[in-house]
Amino acid sequence: MSHGLNEIGAGVANLPVSIANVYFVGKRGSPWVLVDTGVPNKARIIRQAAESRFGEKAKPECILLTHGHFDHAGNALELANFWNVPVYAHALEMPYLTGKAAYPPADPTAPGFMSFLSRFFTTQPLDLTGRIRTLEPGELPGLPDWEWHHTPGHAPGHVAFFRKADAMLLAGDAFATVNLDSAIDVLRKKQRISRPPVPFTYDWRAARESVRKLDALNPLTFACGHGLPMLGSDAADEFADFAYHFPIPSHGRYVNEPATTNEFGIVSLPPPPPDRMPGIAGALAVAGLTGVMVTVAAQRRKRHLTLS
């Protein structure tokens, strides 16, 4: 399908946007919904994909957010304003989507590739005031054949969306279908049921219970915020085994003690472990920038010599 869209089920397509996925739910000529919005500054790509799928000037009934982290809500305000539609999220996400509170800080000391990178990511709140609405119990706005489930652990108000008719699960970051702990697996887009993004998961026992709650739904299609969608009985067996043996990290800030939150934001945080990596991370960043500058200078010198 054009514009990077991949059909994964009846009326559902995903669009990889940098490190995350967004989902278009609905068919051309019918009402449709956008699930998640990817990292910031990708609104134009998403609009173009929407036009290729639903037609010029087509707009969704609403935008649904699995949660408010920057890689899922990064374009929510721009798209909501462009289409003049509401954005829906769980009530416990409201502090982080109205500019009133920041999420629990990322844990760069936890294991894995994503934890190292988290030093360069933001957990600052977005302000969708005027557009944001609270999900209410019952049917999903714009998706009468779907249901939503509260799945905290990765974010306080994290939700997943499920369609019983074909057992399709839009899981957000309750888990992933790529091992985010491995840079090689991420680059190769290797499909594997894996734990949620480690540095941003603030309550690992709640995350485990959320995965087991989703396993009880008996899903057959697994479409997450990160990784290529997986489907079929083999994927279902892999997910069931993953849920049973849910891999809590060996160490990290939130492994033994979670952050606690309420409807206003953070209530308490466990103390941060010593982080011995900032100097190394900074050195690597400087080295990378220096390498780019040297390359650019060499290219300019080569052009100058050619012209002379």
The answer on 216 and 288 residing in a single domain is no
The answer on 291 and 148 residing in a single domain is no
- Per-residue burial over 66-98, b if 16 or more Cβ lie within 10 Å, else e, is bbbbbbbbbbbbbbbeebebbbbbbebbbbbbb
Dig out the tokens for 62 from the structure: 């609403």
The answer on 296 and 167 residing in a single domain is no
State the Cα–Cα distance between residues 229 and 10, nearest whole angstrom: 14
CB neighbour class for 188 (10 Å; exposed up to 12, middle 13-18, buried from 19): exposed
The answer on 183 and 299 residing in a single domain is no
The answer on 242 and 154 residing in a single domain is yes
- Can you give the pLDDT at residue 286? 38
Domain region containing 34: 2-274
State the Cα–Cα distance between residues 121 and 285, nearest whole angstrom: 14
Q: Which residue type sits at 36? A: D
pLDDT tens for the chain, residues 1 to 308: 457 899 999 999 999 999 999 999 999 889 999 999 999 999 999 999 999 999 998 999 999 999 999 999 999 999 999 999 999 999 999 999 999 999 999 999 999 999 999 988 876 789 999 999 999 998 899 999 999 999 999 999 999 999 999 999 999 999 999 999 999 999 999 999 999 999 999 999 999 999 999 999 999 999 999 999 999 999 999 999 999 999 999 999 999 999 999 999 999 999 999 987 765 544 444 344 334 333 434 444 444 434 34
How much helix, strand and coil, in percent to the nearest 5, is found in the chain?
35, 20, 45
- Can you give the pLDDT at residue 161? 98
The answer on 299 and 215 residing in a single domain is no
